[in-house]
């Protein structure tokens, strides 16, 4: 850290931002089974197992309703193809409820492979780290006490804004993990709807929504790549080296915060992007 309070404040805000980027990198490459030591996944397994009994009850109910709604009389079951169709539907629905955890873990693994492929092109988030330029540090160090007062205000506002953006971003990424756990824990209920012709659309919507949450990881990684390109290819610079330190800091923070807003916007809009892309 620099001895100058203004420089220390800015570098502290950038350190917070960079640490949140590193945390995002670890989250998108993490699996729900190993996140936080697997304790949350174990809890979801217990809830899923407890709800299977309810899922089986609903499965039978939806299956019976489907038969009564779509079959004029039970003479239709004398046709082998009709009976076989209902039998396959019932077995498939029961399998989905029984092995829902395994099915959803497999779907996450498939989507995780896509995320890994995208992330492999990025390597790491070192290129996306934000640092304070040396020429800006020098300009700030040369400012007198009275002239530095406006800099304090600009620095405080910029640091607070950067810190807020970093926590908004990481909370969005964490919320994805919690949604994955919620989908997994409550899976027996919506998966039981596959037993009925009328209710099966609910099960399909559930699977598509779960796939959408899994695919958000790929969008988040792509967003980090875009931000990395912003920082490395068009990184904020000092527009006029001869300008006052206040103007230089204000210009640099404005452009840096704009780039950060791009990333936060993309991360927060990951669910909407996935829904539009996959017509979910």
Distance CA 154, CA 157 (A): 5
**Residue 271: is its pLDDT beyond 50?**
yes
**Res. 127 pLDDT band, cuts 50 70 90:** low
Distance CA 191, CA 228 (A): 40
pLDDT at 121: 61
Of 130, 126, 128, 125, nearest to 14 (Cα)? Answer: 130
Q: What is the mean pLDDT of the chain?
A: 80
Distance CA 185, CA 43 (A): 8
Tokens linked to 48: 């899923």
**Res. 51 pLDDT band, cuts 50 70 90:** very high
Distance CA 207, CA 213 (A): 10
pLDDT in tens, 189-245: 999 999 888 888 898 999 999 988 888 888 888 888 777 777 665 445 555 556 677
C-alpha neighbours within 13 Å on the C-beta side of residue 147: 11
Segment 28-56 shows an average pLDDT of 87
pLDDT in tens, 138-190: 777 777 666 667 778 888 888 898 899 889 988 988 888 889 899 999 999 99
- Which residue would you say has higher pLDDT here, 73 or 90? 90
Of 233, 169, 199, 141, nearest to 21 (Cα)? Answer: 169
Distance CA 84, CA 79 (A): 9
Beta carbons within 10 angstroms of residue 183's beta carbon = 21
């Amino acid at each position: 850290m620099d001895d100058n309070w203004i420089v220390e404040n800015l570098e502290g805000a950038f350190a917070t931002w960079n640490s949140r980027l590193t945390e995002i990198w670890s989250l998108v490459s993490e699996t729900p089974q190993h996140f936080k030591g697997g304790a949350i996944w174990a809890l979801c397994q217990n809830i899923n197992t407890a709800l299977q009994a309810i899922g089986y009850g609903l499965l039978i109910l939806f299956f019976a309703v489907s038969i009564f709604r779509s079959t004029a009389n039970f003479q239709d079951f004398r046709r082998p193809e009709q009976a076989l169709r209902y039998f396959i539907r019932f077995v498939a629905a029961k399998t989905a409820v029984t092995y829902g955890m395994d099915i959803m873990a497999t779907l996450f693994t498939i989507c995780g492979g896509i995320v890994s492929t995208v992330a492999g092109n990025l390597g790491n988030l070192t290129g996306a780290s934000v640092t304070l330029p040396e020429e800006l540090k020098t300009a700030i160090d040369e400012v007198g006490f009275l002239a530095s007062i406006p800099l304090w205000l600009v620095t405080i506002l910029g640091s607070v804004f950067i810190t807020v953006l970093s926590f908004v971003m990481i909370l969005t990424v964490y919320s994805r993990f919690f949604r994955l756990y919620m989908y997994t824990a409550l899976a027996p209920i919506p998966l039981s709807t596959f037993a009925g012709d009328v209710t099966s659309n609910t099960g399909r919507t559930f699977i598509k929504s779960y796939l959408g949450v899994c695919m958000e990881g790929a969008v988040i990684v792509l967003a980090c790549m875009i931000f990395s390109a912003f920082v490395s290819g068009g990184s904020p610079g000092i527009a006029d080296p001869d300008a006052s330190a206040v103007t230089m800091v204000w210009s640099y923070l404005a452009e840096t915060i704009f780039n950060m807003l791009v990333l936060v916007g993309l991360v927060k809009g990951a669910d909407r992007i996935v829904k539009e892309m996959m017509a979910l």
